[in-house]
Amino acid sequence: MTGNELRNAYLEFFRSKDHLVLPSYSLIPENDPSLLLIGAGMAPFKPFFTGKMKPLHPRIVTSQKCIRTGDIENVGRTARHHTFFEMLGNFSFGDYFKREAIAWAWEFLTDKRYLNLPADKLWVTIYTDDDEAHGIWLNDIKVPAERIIRMEDNFWEIGTGPCGPCSEIYVDLGEHRGCGSADCKVGCDCDRYLEIWNLVFTQFDRDEAGEYTPLAKKNIDTGAGLERIASVLQNKPSNFETDLLYPLIEYAAKAASVEYGKSDKTDVSLKVVADHGRSMVVMIGDGVLPSNEGRGYVLRRILRRAVRHGRLMGMEKPFLVPLVDVVIGILGAAYPDLAVKRDYIKTIIGLEEERFRLTLSQGMELLGTLIADLQEAGKDVLPGEDAFKLYDTFGFPWELTREILAENGISLEQEGFERAMNEQRERARAARSDNNDNGAM
C-alpha cells in the first residue's frame, strides 16, 4: 500500500463509520496563542472538544499536516522522528467513547479488508488506573493480558485545552530491530516497538494555571502516524525508505553524489534534508515566511539545518529549489494547493538559501577558529557571548552552533548566550518604541 493509498483507506474506513471527512487544516493555528504551529490532528478542534463551538458533525476524520520540532536533533538519527508528518485522526465530540475508538482502531489495523497486520505483533498501553480501557482490550478485543501495559505517562496534552488519559498501540517489529538490552520492552527508545496509534480519551480541559477541569462531555481524539504505518506496511527499516520520503533521499543523494546506506554520517544528512525538505515546502505553502521570530524562525532554522547538512555532504552549491518538485510529487495528490503555489514556494526557498549561504561560510569559518582556539587552550565550553555574536552578526542559528560544538566535544555556555540575547531584545524594543515601528525584527 502506498502512502497515498493508506491515507485514503483510513479516511474511507472512518467515513464508513459515519465520520465527516475534512481536509487538513493549515499549519498556522487559528485563535490559539498557546501554539506556534499545529502539531497534532486534534489541535484545530479544541473548541469542539471543550464545547465552545459546535462541529458540523459529532464525528470527524482528517489527515492533518503537523510540525513538531521538540525532537529535531533526533531527526535522521532514528527510524521515526520527523519535523513534518501527517497524523491520521478520528475524533468524537461528545459522541462515541472508548469502546468504539478501541474497536475501530483494532479493526482497521488487523482486519484483512484493511491493513491486515498480525494481531499477535501488536501491544497496547493504557493509563495506570484505566481499568475501563483494560477491560475493553482484554475482554472485547481479546488482547492477552501480558500485552496490555499500564503506564504512568499515558496522559496526553498539548498547550492548554482538552486532554486526557490515553491508550497507545505498538507494533513489535522483531528482535532484530531492537537494542539487544535485556530490558528492551514497549516504551524503549530503540526501534523495536513502534508506536503507531494513540487513542486519547479526552475528558479534561487544562487551563493556563495547570488546573484540570472535567469536560461536560467525553470525547475521542486519536492520532496515527501515516509515515510510521507506511513503514510497517511497506516493510521498510525506517520511515525514510517509504514512498512518502524516499524520492527525497534519492534526489539528495544524487545531488550530493553520495550513495544512501554507505555511511551513517551521510545517511543522517540525507534524512535531515528529506525531512526538512517536506517541512519547509508545506510551511511556506501554508503561509509561513522565514524570519527571526516565532514560526518564521522555526522555518528558518529548518531550512538552514538542511543547507548545513547538504554542506556536510559536500554540496557547495544551492540544492533546495529542485527539492520542491520532489515534495510536490509526493504530497501534491493530498494537498493540491502546493502545486498551485509551486513557483512561490521555490522563490522563497531560493532567496532564503542564497541569503544563508552568503553568511554561512563566514560563520562556519569564525566558529571553526573559535573551536580551534578553545581546543588549543584545553577548554571545552564556548562563552555565550561568542555564540551570540555568531547568531546576531551572521544569522547563524544558535542551535546549529550548539550542534557543531557538540560534534567537537564542546558545550555552549547557555546562560551567557541568553543574557546577550535578552540584552539585544531590550535594545530592539527600545529602538522600536523610539521609532514607533512595530514591524522591526
Report the residue from 125, 154, 198, 203 that binds ligand SER according to the rule CB under 6 A. Answer: 198
Q: Is 124 exposed, middle or buried (0-12, 13-18, 19+ CB in 10 A)?
A: buried
Here's the x/- map for ligand SER, 245-284, by CB under 6 A: it reads as ----------------------------------------
Minimum CB separation of residue 239 from ligand SER in Å reads 16
Strands 20-21 and 59-67, by their bridges, are parallel
Minimum CB separation of residue 276 from ligand SER in Å reads 21
- What is the rounded distance in angstroms from the CA atom of residue 78 to the CA atom of residue 55? 38
Minimum CB separation of residue 176 from ligand SER in Å reads 27
Judged by beta carbon, residue 221 or residue 386, the one nearer ligand SER is 221
200 binds ligand SER (CB under 6 A): yes
363 binds ligand SER (CB under 6 A): no
41 binds ligand SER (CB under 6 A): yes
Judged by beta carbon, residue 89 or residue 363, the one nearer ligand SER is 89
194 binds ligand SER (CB under 6 A): no
Sequence letter at residue 249: I
- What is the rounded distance in angstroms from the CA atom of residue 253 to the CA atom of residue 251? 6
The stretch among 34-42, 70-78, 92-100, 367-375 that binds ligand SER (CB under 6 A) is 34-42
Q: What is the DSSP letter of 81?
A: -
- What is the rounded distance in angstroms from the CA atom of residue 303 to the CA atom of residue 324? 12
Minimum CB separation of residue 109 from ligand SER in Å reads 15
Other C-beta atoms lying within 10 Å of the C-beta of residue 426: 10
Sequence letter at residue 233: L
161 binds ligand SER (CB under 6 A): no
Report the residue from 127, 156, 356, 417 that binds ligand SER according to the rule CB under 6 A. Answer: 156
Judged by beta carbon, residue 65 or residue 346, the one nearer ligand SER is 65
> Across the chain, how many H-helices and E-strands are there?
14, 11
- What is the rounded distance in angstroms from the CA atom of residue 238 to the CA atom of residue 215? 38
223 binds ligand SER (CB under 6 A): yes
Applying the rule CB under 6 A, the residues between 60 and 79 that interact with ligand SER are none
Minimum CB separation of residue 273 from ligand SER in Å reads 26
352 binds ligand SER (CB under 6 A): no
Under a CB-based contact definition with an 8 Å cutoff, are residues 50 and 13 in contact? no
Minimum CB separation of residue 106 from ligand SER in Å reads 16
Cα(first)–Cα(last) distance of the chain, in Å?
A: 46
- What is the rounded distance in angstroms from the CA atom of residue 152 to the CA atom of residue 192? 21
Minimum CB separation of residue 49 from ligand SER in Å reads 10
Minimum CB separation of residue 152 from ligand SER in Å reads 17
DSSP string, 387-425: HHHHHHHH---HHHHHHHHHHTT-EE-HHHHHHHHHHHH
Other C-beta atoms lying within 10 Å of the C-beta of residue 34: 13
Nearest to 276 by CA among 99, 105, 76: 76
Minimum CB separation of residue 156 from ligand SER in Å reads 5
Residue nearest ligand SER (C-beta atom): 223
Nearest to 83 by CA among 399, 419, 380: 399
Report the residue from 36, 40, 334, 349 that binds ligand SER according to the rule CB under 6 A. Answer: 40
221 binds ligand SER (CB under 6 A): yes
Report the residue from 42, 244, 299, 331 that binds ligand SER according to the rule CB under 6 A. Answer: 42
Q: Is 228 exposed, middle or buried (0-12, 13-18, 19+ CB in 10 A)?
A: buried
Applying the rule CB under 6 A, the residues between 283 and 342 that interact with ligand SER are none
Under a CB-based contact definition with an 8 Å cutoff, are residues 384 and 394 in contact? no
Judged by beta carbon, residue 69 or residue 198, the one nearer ligand SER is 198
The stretch among 75-83, 220-228, 309-317, 390-398 that binds ligand SER (CB under 6 A) is 220-228
CA max distance for the chain: 69
- What is the rounded distance in angstroms from the CA atom of residue 437 to the CA atom of residue 388? 24
89 binds ligand SER (CB under 6 A): yes
Residue showing cell 486526557: 164
Judged by beta carbon, residue 40 or residue 410, the one nearer ligand SER is 40
Residues that bind ligand SER in the complex, under the rule CB under 6 A? 40-42, 89, 156, 198, 200, 221-223
